[in-house]
Structure 1
């Protein structure tokens, strides 16, 4: 990776015990850099932070309207959900409406992160299924698009499948770059690489999109609004995406990605944020995105759910406060 910058610090007493380095960028509606840390040209895999990009063809093509998808389903198409009943029940009904089910999904079975759902499976000696996978909503969207396009090939996660070809085209258009390659994501779908700036540019495009714009802008508005309307479906209880969106209703759409990636879409400012922590630490990516959004005036640092990510205490097993996590001075300087 290019030269990263210290973004997050972990203190134990008066000693700096750990530090997390990374790259971050704030981009305006013209695609210009407003603020940057580290290397904006760093090539990254956005992982699940790219889900709203992957959902663009679903809406832009008319597939979502033809299937009568609700705002809840659009939010789930962008989600990395907890596998709670509010998620799995909705995905199950979505699939059933198409005459499909668990076996039609190509994401693997996954134990739900939602504790009641996980305990329920254990108590009944049951096993998780593909609908429990955190990406099952995205995959239901893939199946909806595939049906709309009249594609009979069920292996919709293959990189040369028509819907993945459409997704790559949309991805390259909104990032403004030719993707240098791809990796296979945890859900088995291709995840295309871009620069950090490219992802920031894409998020700024979502932020600046207007309801009276072209088909892509209209699709972008619908997806970002669905995310902000249903933060509980985008992630779930205890998750940063859900809690930070709830702390600033209607002001920001947030989406985490594996290995400490994070994006933010800020419609009022017509700006997008993209960040990557080099060591893959989620605690650091959550702290960093909260810090940037506080400095931009989007989040209130006094809100409990913001403080929990921005400046959490480090407690030991006896409940003693042994230190804290904080954004670096460089990150707080905009």
Structure 2
């Protein structure tokens, strides 16, 4: 594959008026008929969803209402779709899930690590705490899968294996929302050790459209599950990442359901407008997500300016040096078809 094939320039960064950095990528917007209505780059570019798959990975549990089975709160349930960054309120909720479900920390297949949030990590280091599996940003997802396996009488120890019933059901659910045959979904291994899936960008956009608009989902149980996990994400935006991250900034808007994944992939569904959006930054940067997403919303004439403003607060377009001096700017420069 040629360098940047299928990608166009999305963002340029300038220092003292001189171009310093360029971010390439692709964007796709679909309507409620699944038709591509806007795109930058190749809408058929296939990419791993990474953590953008988490809402879909929560569907088997939501089909069984495992939150009600175990008496979980709305905030605790949201962690099944989260890439939490290890703040105290995340860890407290995870301990609560473990107590209510009987799950032991050593059952989690994800590795021991420190929190992604720098302040939370520093606090753990100051306290001379060891790395823990519960600190891993995917630990909520793992707990949800184990809890579902436990409730269904499936083997709990092998929940992470591709052949496990819960992993096979996840693939089926993703195929249903993306409207693709199961055999066309590529499978790899994610950072946390679970199977991770590939889809073309237009199919990712369609899946997020249906997550936001579950009336488009034919199967009743899947429709119920998608509506439930999306609602929990909106009810608890800070559970999905933390108080200073793009996912939480977007989910504070009840019109949006949104989730990003590692290496620059992002999915958004809009309820009122009934459109789905996906994007991939080719260099994997998450820092340019806010300017890209804010610009997309501006281009479609999105009415909630507070949401756009929150994105620019997460990562301003003004670039500062370590001392707080203004030294440059970043610009979204893409044009779409």
TM normalised by structure 1 equals 0.92
* Alpha-carbon distance between aligned partners in 1 of 2:299 and 2:91, rounded to the nearest angstrom: 36
Deviation at 1:274, TM superposition (A): 0.8
Distance 1:74-1:294 versus aligned 2 partners, 3 A rule: farther
* Alpha-carbon distance between aligned partners in 2 of 1:3 and 1:298, rounded to the nearest angstrom: 31
Distance 1:314-1:129 versus aligned 2 partners, 3 A rule: same
Distance 1:315-1:211 versus aligned 2 partners, 3 A rule: same
* Alpha-carbon distance between aligned partners in 1 of 2:264 and 2:224, rounded to the nearest angstrom: 29
Which residue of the partner structure matches residue 243 of structure 1?
249
* Alpha-carbon distance between aligned partners in 2 of 1:310 and 1:29, rounded to the nearest angstrom: 31
TM normalised by structure 2 equals 0.91
* Alpha-carbon distance between aligned partners in 2 of 1:65 and 1:298, rounded to the nearest angstrom: 36
* Alpha-carbon distance between aligned partners in 1 of 2:118 and 2:323, rounded to the nearest angstrom: 23
Deviation at 1:267, TM superposition (A): 1.2
Q: 1:314 is matched with which residue: 319, 325, 332?
A: 319
Distance 1:325-1:277 versus aligned 2 partners, 3 A rule: same
Which residue of the partner structure matches residue 210 of structure 2?
205
Unaligned runs of 5+ in 2: none
What SS does structure 1 have at the residue aligned with 2:288?
helix
* Alpha-carbon distance between aligned partners in 1 of 2:296 and 2:216, rounded to the nearest angstrom: 27
* Alpha-carbon distance between aligned partners in 1 of 2:307 and 2:236, rounded to the nearest angstrom: 23
* Alpha-carbon distance between aligned partners in 1 of 2:204 and 2:38, rounded to the nearest angstrom: 14
* Alpha-carbon distance between aligned partners in 1 of 2:199 and 2:334, rounded to the nearest angstrom: 28
Distance 1:114-1:144 versus aligned 2 partners, 3 A rule: same
Deviation at 1:212, TM superposition (A): 11
Q: Is the 8 A contact 2:45 2:201 kept in 1?
A: yes
Which residue of the partner structure matches residue 86 of structure 1?
89
Q: Is the 8 A contact 1:288 1:310 kept in 2?
A: no
* Alpha-carbon distance between aligned partners in 2 of 1:270 and 1:302, rounded to the nearest angstrom: 17
- CA RMSD after TM alignment: 2.2
Superposed CA offset, 1:248-295 (max 9, x none): x31212211000111112111122111101111112233212221233
**Structure 1 residue 138 and structure 2 residue 173: aligned?**
no
Which residue of the partner structure matches residue 163 of structure 1?
166
Deviation at 1:320, TM superposition (A): 2.0
Q: Is the 8 A contact 1:264 1:274 kept in 2?
A: yes
* Alpha-carbon distance between aligned partners in 2 of 1:39 and 1:119, rounded to the nearest angstrom: 41
